[in-house]
Amino acid sequence: MSPIGNLKTMTSSDATSDDAQERQLRIDLAAAFRLAVEFDWHESVANHFSLAVSDDGKKFLLNRRWQHFSTIKASDLLLLDSDDPETMQREDAPDASAWCIHGSIHASLPHARCILHVHPPYATAMATLADPELKPIDQNTARFYDRVHVDLGFGGIADDRAEGERLARALGNKSVMMMGNHGVLVAGNTVAEAFDDLYFLERSCRTMVLAYSTGQKLNVMPPELAEKTARGWDDYKGMAYAHFEELKRKLDRKDASYAQ
């Protein structure tokens, strides 16, 4: 058999399967936008979520420039390529800060398939502190023990390539970044996993803010207990998918237009 004969031929069923897979990814990401509104994590028509659709992570979905999270549908999402230098010259070019952050991270960190960047109330409040570190004071805060990169290098609105590359380097092999003077960024393998981390991160920051507000000394876990608790969460990874499916069912009952 010739080398050409060994090549896999793309069939109509392959194409249909790829289309169906991208369609489901679009639906899940659109659901995340709508749910962010339900949890009051959104801010005006700013902030961005993205999701890789290619194996290398470089082709990804991203919300359109300045579209309110509450109106985003699966069909609205842009399909971009982090290697495309002409992206910002497109007629439907994304927000400059979205391209800076998400384009740079998808270009260099294949593990960050889903990237959620928002300015939710409690996490942003924590990000304004001189010490924005999450202390392990309960099982939710301990979930993130030694698993968050704290970036204190804020230099203004992130809208140039150099800043995007710096943020990608800062995130490195972590999945959560507390962005000092800015907000938070969570990355995950799937929308469900990233969304669950963002959910527990915001709840953890709420606990921290409430605990700080008492003015009393925090009861911080010793490192061994904090690490044990953080690893204990690994046994509950499947909960993220159940949680996200339950939340999508709530959306379906309220307004299923996100899936269009």
Q: Is residue 11 part of a domain?
A: no
Report how far residue 57's alpha carbon sits from residue 81's, in angstroms, rounded to the nearest whole number: 9
CA distances from 213 to 125, 132, 182, 197 (A): 12, 14, 21, 24
> What was the pLDDT predicted at 12?
55
Write the CATH number for 75: 3.40.225.10
**Percent of residues, the chain, with pLDDT higher than 90:** 87
Q: Is residue 7 part of a domain?
A: no
Q: What share of the chain is helix, strand, coil (3-state, %, to 5)?
A: 50, 15, 35
Q: Is residue 217 part of a domain?
A: yes
> What was the pLDDT predicted at 11?
59
- Per the structure block, which two tokens stand in for 101? 């952050």
Residues spanned by the domain of 106: 18-259
Q: 164 or 220: which carries more pLDDT confidence? A: 220
**Which candidate, 110, 24, 21, 117, places its Cα nearest to that of 62?**
117
Q: Is residue 111 part of a domain?
A: yes
Q: Give buried/exposed letters for 121-139 (b at 16+ CB in 10 A, else e).
A: ebbbebbeeeebebbbbbe
> Mean pLDDT, to the nearest integer, of 189-196?
98
Report how far residue 255's alpha carbon sits from residue 33's, in angstroms, rounded to the nearest whole number: 13
> Mean pLDDT, to the nearest integer, of 14-28?
87
Q: Is residue 227 part of a domain?
A: yes
Q: Is residue 162 part of a domain?
A: yes
Q: pLDDT digits over 226-256, tens only?
A: 999 999 999 999 999 999 999 999 999 999 9
Q: pLDDT digits over 57-115, tens only?
A: 999 999 999 999 999 999 999 999 999 999 999 999 999 999 999 999 999 999 999 99
Residue pair 228/143 in contact by the 8 Å Cβ criterion: no
Q: How confident is the model at residue 1 (pLDDT cuts 50, 70, 90)?
A: very low
Q: How confident is the model at residue 41 (pLDDT cuts 50, 70, 90)?
A: very high
Task: State yes or no: pLDDT of 7 exceeds 60.
Answer: no
Q: What is the dihedral sign for C-alpha 219, 144, 171, 182?
A: negative
> What was the pLDDT predicted at 4?
36
Task: State yes or no: pLDDT of 53 exceeds 60.
Answer: yes
Least confident of 1-15, 36-50, 142-156: 1-15
Q: Is residue 5 part of a domain?
A: no
Question: Which residues neighbour 233 within 8 Å (Cβ) at sequence distance 6 or greater?
Answer: 143
Give the DSSP H or E segment for 60. strand 59-62
Q: Is residue 59 part of a domain?
A: yes
Residue linked to tokens 């800076």:
100
> What was the pLDDT predicted at 2?
36
> Mean pLDDT, to the nearest integer, of 32-55?
97
Number of domains in the chain: 1
**Percent of residues, the chain, with pLDDT higher than 70:** 94
Q: pLDDT digits over 125-184, tens only?
A: 999 999 999 999 999 999 999 999 999 988 777 777 888 899 999 999 999 999 999 999
